[in-house]
Structure 1
């Protein structure tokens, strides 16, 4: 196995920013197909998890990671809190595994590497032109990778083995997952994915479901929905263009599939999610 073959996971960042949060930080029913990285300057902010109604506090001097697909409400602090955040996707980590292994947010102790990378990110993203400076993206990725390395190291053996067994580069399913990620908008056939992995189609479908908890078709559809959700929030493309770019034949089919998975139609999702980026700036 070559070195390139071992580089399966990588992080795609969407936005990194620091804002003061207060009473306005109160969006409800937030659910994204990307992860969140938070560092707060003081206590007071929290989120309420829909899964069980519990409140997850976001104290200072810690890195907080909110996994993709977690549904929650923002709970504003009583006093202004400086809120350093980044939104990112872990390319190569299927949504089924995220929901199984990372069902809740996690807080990580602010050790020397996490503190240093958070401060470097804060310095690199300062200023109005930060989005055009390559060091800002690299600094944000360094902070995210440091946090993810600690997160993975703290998994219990069962959850760690669950990820490794499904996504290790030696996995016979790796070629299919890589093809789906690279060609998600193309009309991929299960028979072609099976050939990539050296399996008969029926055996491939059984093994895929056993390891990832979804059929190949369900997995592909979820990846398309995830990418479409990101484009709805991070671009000004029309819904028709997003549907086409993400592999849906038309807006009507896209709307039906998206609504079934995300709970709201694409247009409502675009209006209702917390603001991001230049047009949307909330974390």
Structure 2
């Protein structure tokens, strides 16, 4: 069964070692996302409709908000993967490169010697018994080895667009409403009405301008809200489920597992944090 071997959250984002034996549904992340095969069964990654194999020679690089999915190459086969999620604003703060560049120019990532060395260093640190982990420089080196340059343009995610962007105001408002209503079951119909559009027109316009459907966007927001509470609080999973508007804990667990590959309880058991302030923890 899929499980979290190690999970660490910090100002950089999050990094995990997952044992995966089940598919993950089509989803997206706000973060720049790297996937590296470690051992066991290989995986098939689909990014923006293009599928390729995650194996000892090839990893996956996913830009913020790029829709992607995962499935084991063989039914029931379990593979071990290093999975990295790096916040665009953190990446931008680490570099002085010109704005406007993407995190990764290609989804297919050739595992060079340099890349493998930084990957293995990250794995070693995640599996160590040391309580304090200085992961930030290792993850930055991993990102830079995956793609050069990484520019401050990453800091402009699609939900915080610069003023000069020509995105439709109705879509900008829809993004804000989806962010604000993580616990509302019928939020998509509500947002379409607020935008003054039919559901079909709203979905088409949103997908054209944001790059993902409103459903994928809303699910991303909901997963992020769940992760915040799992990581930054001691709130029981049943309470988190209720706060996010799920009808029962089992429905929430199925939703979380479909996006993360494991249950909320399993994720929390493997979790440790670095560099998070008491204020951030108290906020949870």
Normalised by the shorter chain, which TM-score bucket?
0.3 to 0.5
Higher helix share: 1
TM-score, with length taken from structure 2:
0.47
Q: Which has the higher contact order (CA 8 A, sep 6+)?
A: 2
TM-score, with length taken from structure 1:
0.47
